[in-house]
């Protein structure tokens, strides 16, 4: 009888501890990351993979100790504010975002939730941070400084098209940083003695009229990278090919989507490094104390299939310098 009573007592004690275990498990709730994609999930799949892989290396596993809420803006300005509001409502622990307009929308929405930008043009010039070394506030991340690369891109374009006299420059003028890069590209064209046409867009519907406006005028197209442009990069590249225009882009992802060439920061590398920022913040470091960093890897990418369709021969010296050649 004593054995039976001991068993019942033991069973009752164990049952009493089960709610405690359950409560302990519930108290160790998942940390939530709000990931605001600049374009679409399909377009940014490689970047998401780089980001989540690095998080795993740092000990953060989805559905184990973190959950990631993904939202995709598709380059539409109205989505930037909506996504920021959703993340605030969800009470995420950190917001990951990119692109000047989307980062500004997140910053204007909250001064409390930490924000990490995976890529933004010039965070100091547009007032995102107090300084690169000590950002201050609730925001930090990686600066691509792509406007400084405009001159190099125009030079590479002329390497491929030595007879180039007139270049069209396409930019979303609703993006403050694209306006800065547009100015840099225009200045670079002037320095090289080139004439230029400016194609100003603010929405996807502006793309077709922009190409109509330069039909028979420009001999090449410089594309300022941006969320709206990224969401429509296949459309832009198809239109450029139809107009027989060699294209220069900011990132190799545009070349993988049919563009001719690109020169710029390696985006998967930036998103891996972005995960390091998130790791530090989730472990207690304040964004204000994490310096803004710049790219360390820059890629030249060339699409030989597109070159062939345009009847262009890529110089062997440029092919030798390329980091990625698509055939």
Residues 228-273 have pLDDT tens digits of 999 899 999 999 999 999 999 999 999 999 999 999 999 999 999 9
Per 3-state DSSP, what percentage of the chain is helix, strand, and coil (rounded to 5)? 50, 20, 30
Res. 282 pLDDT band, cuts 50 70 90: very high
Instruction: Answer whether 232's CB lies under 8 Å from 181's CB.
Output: no
Instruction: Answer whether 66's CB lies under 8 Å from 33's CB.
Output: yes
Position 8 scores a pLDDT of 42
Residue 33: CATH number of its domain: 3.40.50.2300
User: Is the pLDDT confidence value at 26 over 70?
Assistant: no
Domain that holds residue 211: 147-265+299-326
Res. 177 pLDDT band, cuts 50 70 90: confident
- Global pTM reads 0.83
User: Is the pLDDT confidence value at 10 over 70?
Assistant: no
Residue 24 neighbours by CB under 8 Å, 6+ apart: none
User: Is the pLDDT confidence value at 27 over 50?
Assistant: no
Tokens (6 digits) for 104? 């500004």
Instruction: Answer whether 158's CB lies under 8 Å from 167's CB.
Output: no
Please state, rounded to an integer, the average pLDDT across all residues of the chain: 90
The answer to the question of residue 5 being in a domain is no
Position 103 scores a pLDDT of 94
Instruction: Specify whether 76 is located in the same domain as 172.
Output: no
Instruction: Specify whether 85 is located in the same domain as 113.
Output: yes
Q: How many CA atoms lie within 13 A of 273 on its CB side?
A: 22
Position 147 scores a pLDDT of 59
What residues form DSSP beta bridges with 66? 31, 62
Instruction: Specify whether 39 is located in the same domain as 65.
Output: yes
Instruction: Specify whether 95 is located in the same domain as 55.
Output: yes
Position 121 scores a pLDDT of 83
Residues 53-81 have pLDDT tens digits of 999 999 999 999 999 999 999 888 889 99
Average pLDDT of the segment spanning 156-161: 95
Residues 101-130 have pLDDT tens digits of 899 999 999 999 999 999 998 888 888 999
Instruction: Specify whether 109 is located in the same domain as 253.
Output: no
The answer to the question of residue 20 being in a domain is no
Instruction: Specify whether 273 is located in the same domain as 259.
Output: no
Q: How many residues does the chain have?
A: 327
Average pLDDT of the segment spanning 282-288: 97
Helices (H), 123-193: 150-160, 176-191
Judged on CB neighbours under 10 Å (0-12, 13-18, 19+), 26 is exposed
Q: Which of 122, 134, 68 is nearest to 95 (CA)?
A: 68
The answer to the question of residue 14 being in a domain is no
Q: What is the count of structural domains for the chain?
A: 2
The CA-to-CA distance between both ends of the chain, in Å, stands at 83
Helices (H), 28-141: 45-57, 77-90, 100-109
Instruction: Specify whether 253 is located in the same domain as 193.
Output: yes
The answer to the question of residue 154 being in a domain is yes
Instruction: Specify whether 113 is located in the same domain as 243.
Output: no
Instruction: Specify whether 243 is located in the same domain as 270.
Output: no
User: Is the pLDDT confidence value at 290 over 50?
Assistant: yes
Instruction: Specify whether 84 is located in the same domain as 198.
Output: no
Q: Which of 267, 266, 249 is nearest to 258 (CA)?
A: 249
User: Nearest-5° angle of CA 237, CA 238, CA 242?
Assistant: 115
What residues form DSSP beta bridges with 301? 262, 324
The answer to the question of residue 101 being in a domain is yes
CA dist 222 and 106 (Å) reads 29
Instruction: Specify whether 127 is located in the same domain as 179.
Output: no
Instruction: Specify whether 89 is located in the same domain as 166.
Output: no
CA dist 319 and 302 (Å) reads 8
Position 146 scores a pLDDT of 61
Q: How many CA atoms lie within 13 A of 271 on its CB side?
A: 21
């Amino acid at each position: 009888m004593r054995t039976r009573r001991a068993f019942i007592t033991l069973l009752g004690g164990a049952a009493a501890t089960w709610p405690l275990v359950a409560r302990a498990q519930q108290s160790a709730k998942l940390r939530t990351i709000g990931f605001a994609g600049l374009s679409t999930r399909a377009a940014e799949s490689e970047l998401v993979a780089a980001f989540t892989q690095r998080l795993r290396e740092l000990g953060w596993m989805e559905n184990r100790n973190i959950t990631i809420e993904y939202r995709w803006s598709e380059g539409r300005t109205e989505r930037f504010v909506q996504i920021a509001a959703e993340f605030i409502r969800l009470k995420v622990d950190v917001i990951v975002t990119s692109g000047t307009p989307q980062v500004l929308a997140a910053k204007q929405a909250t001064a409390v939730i930490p924000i990490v930008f995976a890529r933004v043009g010039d965070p100091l010039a547009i007032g995102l941070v107090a300084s690169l070394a000590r950002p201050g506030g609730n925001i930090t991340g990686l600066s691509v400084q792509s406007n400084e690369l405009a001159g190099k891109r125009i030079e590479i374009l002329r390497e491929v098209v030595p007879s180039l006299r007139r270049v069209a420059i396409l930019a979303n003028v609703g993006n403050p940083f694209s306006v800065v890069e547009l100015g840099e590209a225009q200045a670079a064209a002037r320095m090289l003695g080139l004439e230029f046409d400016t194609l100003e867009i603010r929405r996807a519907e502006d793309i077709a009229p922009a190409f109509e406006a330069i039909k028979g005028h420009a001999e090449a197209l410089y594309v300022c990278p941006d969320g709206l442009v990224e969401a429509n990069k296949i459309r832009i590249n198809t239109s450029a090919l139809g107009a027989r225009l060699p294209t220069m882009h900011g990132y190799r992802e545009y070349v993988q989507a049919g563009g001719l060439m690109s020169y710029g920061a390696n985006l998967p590398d930036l998103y891996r490094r972005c995960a390091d920022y998130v790791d530090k913040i989730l472990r207690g470091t304040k964004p204000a104390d994490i310096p803004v960093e710049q790219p360390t890897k820059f890629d030249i990418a060339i699409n030989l299939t597109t070159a062939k369709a345009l009847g262009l021969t890529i110089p062997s010296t440029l092919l030798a310098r390329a980091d990625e050649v698509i055939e």
